[in-house]
Every structure is written in structure tokens, then in C-alpha cells.
A = this chain, B = another copy of it.
């Protein structure tokens, strides 16, 4: 905010006009931008980098619990304008960004509430609650860790791809119709896409390899089973990546691959896989859901070891991890007080079937392109995708 008149009461206070020199901020102490609303922030509050406004807002919201539900039918979108959203949604965003209620202390001026060294006695937890609290926290930090890994790697991927093209710029161009598929330059588009497809596919797969290395369970799995799981997941990975990218670009009726080019398989009919983008866009998967969905699909290896073709050990370990991630996602839902999260979770999981069928459609169309030498794939793609 650009006020701050309060202190200046004594001084001459030269009414800060439009072009006032006062706003020359030497950014004293600014350590970054508020995760919640984007304003400059001078420090961390309740666990995350946040501005003073969001800090105070959060404290008040927790202390005097009120307005817990948004009164709009379509909840406000606090992501870009947290400070203008309604209180319920702003509070929800605080939680989503990771502010922790546990960091709130009881009233300061009550005697006996001081922390003794290293031991917050203001949260003297009964032993049973303690363990439950601990496991909740462990789950929360698990999902946070997984999410940040996933985002870090994905950002890196876009960094790599940007060296070739400005992804969003091209996406916008498409939106404005420059690249809109039509009969006239259909074949031209395909030629243009040939290199794009093999390029982004390779980048996506390398990203996949890098990502699974960050999953601790994968260290417990034999090389053979690793390959099996990877091959099983690779197409789904491509669909999820392209799907979220397409959904984020918010364009209709085209299917974007990660560098922003569009891929119409034919003119009159959109490819099957573009259908998955609509649910993705509508659900607006939060990062935690996205990573959970990916892990669930990667680790979903049927009912029994015999049928999944995996070793007993692998089977047990992956299923256990999958269950843990599901539990972690639920802990996250509860933490951010997401309303009706069972239904939400159901919708998220149900995306798997759409993704699977989109993946087979993609396999089919890529297979054709490969056989007819329209696109040539590198070694890693051959191995992971075409059973090469």
C-alpha cells in the first residue's frame, strides 16, 4: 500500500501527490514478494514470505474465526488479487500458500505462556495427539516436498524449451488465430511440428527421468522394474504435461505441446487427447494435486504382483508409497480446509481414465508419424515410448 501517513503527522508531510518523490523505495529490507498477494515483503510470517497485510489478516482470521465460506457461486480467484478477494477466499489462499496456524501463539500477556528453551509449552500436546500431529505434519511436509520438486523440475524444463521458442508468446499467437489450423496450411503445420514434437517429447521424457530420481522409493526398486514402471507411465506423463500446459494456456480446441506449438492431428476432428485438457482446465489442479496424480498413476500397478508383472518387493513398496501420497494429499486438503474434498479427490482421480485413453490415442498417432517417417524420435523416446 502506498499510505503511511501515520508517522508523518509531526513533520511537514508534503502531501504525496501523483508524482511524489516519496515512493522512491530504496527497498530497505525487502527480501522478496509476498507469496499470497505479490506485494513486496520484508520477512517471513507464519512460515512463508508474506507482506505485513497478509500477516495481520491471517492472524485476525484465525483468532476471530468468521466468514468461513465464500458467498459467491463462483469463488473469487485470489491467486492474482488476493487483497481484493473476499475474506473467506483470501484466508483459504493463505492456507494454500502454506501459512501455518500452528505458528500463532496464544495471547502474549497471559502469564505462563512463555516458551521455555526449545520447548513451546503453549502447545503442550497430550502424547496421543502428539503422534497424530506429528504424522499429519510429516504428511504435509511430504506433499510440500514433492510439490516443490515437481515445480522446480518443470520450471527447468520450460527454461530449456524457452531457448528455442517463447512458449507463451506462441500460445498467444495461436489464440489470436495466426496459427489456427485450417485446411490451407495443414501440411505446412505438420512439417513445422515434426521437429517440435520430437524435441519436446525428448525434453519431457528427460524431465520425467530427472523427476523420478527425486522420488525416494525409486531407490528401492530394481532396474528392471524401474524400466517397466517408466514405460508404463511415459505416455501418461506426456499427456499430463501437455494437458496441463494446454489447460493453462486457456485456449480452446487445440492441443499444445510444451513449447507452445499446436498439434492438430487432422483438420476436421480434434485429436482425442485434446479432450483431456478441458477437464484439466476446469478442475484447475493445484500443484499438490498435480504431483499426487502423477505419482498415483506412476505407482498404480494393478492388484497383484502376478498381474502387474512386477517383483513382489516393488509391488509392495510402490503401493505403500502411493497410499502415503494419497494420505498426504488428504492431509493437505484438510490443512487448507478445502470444502468437500472427497468429491474433489474423486474428480482428480477420475482424470486417470481420461488420461489413459488420451495416452492410447497419442500412442496411435505418434506411431503413425513414426512409421511414415514424418517424425523421427531420438533413442530415449524410442526406448520409453515405442518399446524399442
Contact = CB atoms under 8 A, between A and B. Distances in A.
Interface of A: 1-3, 5, 15-18, 44, 47-48, 66-67, 70-72, 76, 83-88, 98, 100-103, 105-109, 111-112, 114, 275, 278-283, 296, 300, 302-304, 306-307, 322-323, 326-327, 329-330, 340, 342-343, 345-347, 349-350, 352-354, 356-357
5 contacts: A17-B102, A84-B106, A326-B342, A329-B342, A342-B345
A281 B303 contact: yes
B3 A103 contact: yes
Given A278-B303, A278-B304, 18 more contacts: A2-B102, A3-B66, A15-B98, A16-B47, A18-B101, A18-B102, A84-B108, A275-B307, A278-B302, A278-B307, A280-B303, A282-B304, A322-B343, A322-B346, A323-B343, A326-B343, A327-B342, A349-B349
A100 B15 CA distance: 8
Contacts of A72: 111
Contacts of A300: 350, 353
Given A107-B84, A109-B76, A352-B350, A275 B302 contact: yes
Q: Which of A47, A87, A109 has the most CB of B within 10 A?
A: A109
Contacts of A349: 346, 349-350
Contacts of A103: 2-3
Given A3-B103, A102-B2, A279 B304 contact: yes
A357 B106 CA distance: 46
B15 A48 contact: yes
Contacts of A323: 340, 343, 346-347
Nearest to A283: B303
Q: Across the A-B interface, give the 8 residue pairs with the lowest CB-CB distance, nearest first.
A: A279-B303, A323-B343, A86-B109, A278-B303, A330-B342, A282-B303, A349-B349, A326-B346
Contacts of A100: 15-18
A102 B18 CA distance: 7
Nearest to A329: B342
Contacts of A330: 342
A71 B18 contact: no
Nearest to A5: B44
Given A354-B302, A356-B357, A112 B98 contact: no
Q: Which of A16, A342, A356 has the most CB of B within 10 A?
A: A342
A279 B302 CA distance: 6
Contacts of A16: 47, 100, 102
A300 B232 CA distance: 24
Contacts of A357: 356
B343 A345 contact: no
A112 B84 contact: no
A133 to B, nearest CB: 17
A84 B109 contact: yes
A122 to B, nearest CB: 11
Nearest to A110: B86
Contact of A111 (B1, B70, B109): B70
A298 B113 CA distance: 46
Contacts of A71: 111-112, 114
Nearest to A275: B307
B86 A296 contact: no
Given A3-B103, A109-B86, A327 B356 contact: no
